[in-house]
Structure 1
């Protein structure tokens, strides 16, 4: 994950026209954004999928995404699969760098009305893009005709695809914050159930005891969590524990933030107890924590499921499980890579139909996507015997039923400044530089400050 991006740039309205005779900040910037967006479309020197001839084909579907490395290769495989045969697609794929550049370019191209046919966004960021007309809505009847229906997704996830009652995103996956554990250490610590899986915790005390037992089993750290100077890790863990308390976290437009401060203090206090600097280290950065666990120097690691390929390469024997429930209700912090229709000023109906068909067919290939650790959002794949046979992926598939995303607001989401600033406040408490009470006050102040700012694309 990378540094937090700036908020999406101002853009024109959904219908592409001015909202009135008086110039606004958005209308004054529209010309510059449209010109920049057009330039980006013409000049992005990025990785393509398929032959040069296919890339030059004006009828090819133009697809933008942010998948590089192993994920990028898997996406290539999926695109090749849907491009085969007489009904296959011709695809011009563009890969943009994850983080600020991707979301800025996506916004600017959509503001110019000349965006790609299909794009990818994190579902948590939908509220920053749909309101200003940067995305076009889906035709659900058309999508259903290609075998992709609302009933094919978990209700909690599908609910987040909507803005103002309209669907603007189709989830490809669910990628949760989970735990990986050293199988040998967990067995010695007595933490496995009769099927050899990590047993439920059930209480804060049980997780604290598990850390001690793992430390004794490893002769080193028990539970590893790398967060120092990371832009999202503290928020991911806090959000998981906070959701488990059952308390609401809302960010209504204009504020104030709806945060149960007692529940938040309870969570930060527990996080500080858990990472006490003795049983479980309290000063690891992300790379240090990952290296320690892969080197066998730790019994359990709290990480995103996206680290599965790296852990496999390490050669250690490990298992995986949803993030442990220790408070009153099950909840796992997650996000979702979702497919969207970036705004086009005058979309061609035939191309738009093909975009719907392409998205439906790509989602059906998500068993390939699951090999990297991501949970398929499409239930027919998630519930298939082939997915059940994937280990350890199917061990944490239950996270999809209790998935919790960021509270919807224009400034939240993966890689956002909101994540960064919230994580800074929590980090200060974990490092002993601030009390849990002060950390929570800082979090509330940050949320209210962001809520006082107008959505630049609304």
Structure 2
């Protein structure tokens, strides 16, 4: 299985993953983040505790969970601290939009460096390539943490040159949300599973006179998840066998042409959808289908939408979705044996107690939790998300991949606005990507 996942980065002036989305654009080294998983943004950096009790070794833990998912991780940290006699985790939430800037500053100045941190999976090749992280193999072995304890896709991606650089917390692939009330009104009994069912449903659900659409096609974020998913469904990739950009392949052209056809041929989407326009329509009950990430759950719940969750339909030849993952990493500078032992102890605890994280809407990467009755009894979202783990792809494991393909999102946007044709747009994206890749070799 190809391992792919895009660095969340912004498109032109917009991307920030709209927290999750909706993140914001980041530096080259940053993952697409947004944290695409945080829609709200408290931007709180309040630690779980101000100092470690006497006799406990303090472990500073950074995360970008400044949205509604932050309290779920804090609950895990607090529970760990309560039961641990030896270690105290100081949980610090950094503003999602500035997370990698703060991290880069810490790496550069060697000041205020955390002992443990969350990193997006697709950022690992960049930071490991710059020799800023330490392999997790020894730490994991001493703590009794095994690769086979986690979903293979995330483990394989984080294993570079035979070394394991990040222990996964979750996997968040593209999923399909749908408005159950609109489906019922249209007489549609189940969510679509393939292209034919999708088009039939979207047309039934579209009524321009009411301002209602079957599927409002986003022209910006989260196309970073949607467009590559359609390429993977054709058994293709965004890179060739040598790891070079392959953005104008026949499969990529077909994927973009299909998205454009939904707007201008099938007319199941309004034209000129602005950033987050499809989200606003879904919240208003005017967009029946929404492709996005698990991080949207909190927003839908607060809005009181009667929604369902299902795997992304197979639009082409085989299942395939783009996804992301939050992973635990340790900076190379951390060499304190007591702290490394404590980090291992904490991560071992998280592996068995990440059900609280799953309750945020995420599907966790721990096989122990995934197999538990408690996880299986969670709301439909988590179990539906986990169904996609067998065919999830991550961004190409290439350092600074986000900066190499920046032009791609500009060209996708222009195409979906009706200002460019798929082939010419992707030819331009490919030309700029090859230039950027070559420049990085010099």
Normalised by the length of structure 2, the TM-score is: 0.84
- For residues 236 and 146 of structure 1, the distance between their equivalents in structure 2, rounded to whole angstroms, comes to 35
- Residue 206 (str. 1) matches residue 197 (str. 2): yes
What is aligned with 2:376? 388
Deviations 1:85-137 (A, max 9, x none): 244631222222224x3223323423555632101111011111101111100
- For residues 329 and 385 of structure 1, the distance between their equivalents in structure 2, rounded to whole angstroms, comes to 30
Q: What secondary structure sits across from 1:61 in the alignment?
A: strand
- For residues 252 and 239 of structure 1, the distance between their equivalents in structure 2, rounded to whole angstroms, comes to 17
Superposed, 1:52-451 pairs within 5 Å as 52-54=50-52, 59-87=57-85, 89-99=87-97, 101-112=98-109, 115-140=113-138, 142-144=139-141, 146-193=143-190, 198-201=191-194, 203=195, 205-215=196-206, 220-227=212-219, 230=220, 232-250=221-239, 256-259=244-247, 261-276=249-264, 278-344=267-333, 347-393=335-381, 394-412=383-401, 416-418=402-404, 420-451=406-437
Q: What secondary structure sits across from 2:330 in the alignment?
A: strand
Q: What secondary structure sits across from 1:51 in the alignment?
A: coil
Deviations 1:59-106 (A, max 9, x none): 31011111112111111111111111244631222222224x322332
Shift of 1:240: 0.5
Shift of 1:363: 3.2
Shift of 1:58: 8.9
- For residues 87 and 105 of structure 1, the distance between their equivalents in structure 2, rounded to whole angstroms, comes to 31
- For residues 192 and 283 of structure 1, the distance between their equivalents in structure 2, rounded to whole angstroms, comes to 30
- For residues 209 and 218 of structure 1, the distance between their equivalents in structure 2, rounded to whole angstroms, comes to 19
Does the aligned pair in 2 maintain the 1:66–1:95 contact within 8 Å? Answer: yes
What is aligned with 1:7? 28
* More moved, 179-188 vs 86-95: 86-95
Shift of 1:217: 11
Does the aligned pair in 2 maintain the 1:221–1:298 contact within 8 Å? Answer: yes
Does the aligned pair in 1 maintain the 2:407–2:433 contact within 8 Å? Answer: no
Does the aligned pair in 2 maintain the 1:74–1:369 contact within 8 Å? Answer: yes
Q: Cα–Cα, structure 1 residues 191 and 325, in superposed 2: closer, same or farther, change >3 Å?
A: farther
* More moved, 430-439 vs 416-425: 416-425
Does the aligned pair in 2 maintain the 1:182–1:316 contact within 8 Å? Answer: yes
Query: Which ranges of structure 2 fall in alignment gaps of 5 or more residues?
Result: 1-16, 18-22, 31-42
Deviations 1:318-359 (A, max 9, x none): 101122211111111100011001121x61112111112212
Q: What secondary structure sits across from 2:69 in the alignment?
A: helix
What is aligned with 1:14? none
Query: How many residues are matched?
Result: 405
Deviations 1:209-268 (A, max 9, x none): 2210222599511112333xx4x4222111000000001322688x74244621111111
Deviations 1:299-333 (A, max 9, x none): 11112210101101111211011222111111111
Deviations 1:131-166 (A, max 9, x none): 1111100125x5255453211222222110112121
- For residues 210 and 180 of structure 1, the distance between their equivalents in structure 2, rounded to whole angstroms, comes to 14
Does the aligned pair in 2 maintain the 1:212–1:279 contact within 8 Å? Answer: yes
- For residues 336 and 397 of structure 1, the distance between their equivalents in structure 2, rounded to whole angstroms, comes to 13
What is aligned with 1:38? none
- For residues 351 and 209 of structure 2, the distance between their equivalents in structure 1, rounded to whole angstroms, comes to 41
- For residues 185 and 405 of structure 2, the distance between their equivalents in structure 1, rounded to whole angstroms, comes to 36
- For residues 426 and 184 of structure 2, the distance between their equivalents in structure 1, rounded to whole angstroms, comes to 37
Q: Cα–Cα, structure 1 residues 88 and 311, in superposed 2: closer, same or farther, change >3 Å?
A: farther
- For residues 61 and 98 of structure 1, the distance between their equivalents in structure 2, rounded to whole angstroms, comes to 21
Does the aligned pair in 1 maintain the 2:217–2:262 contact within 8 Å? Answer: no
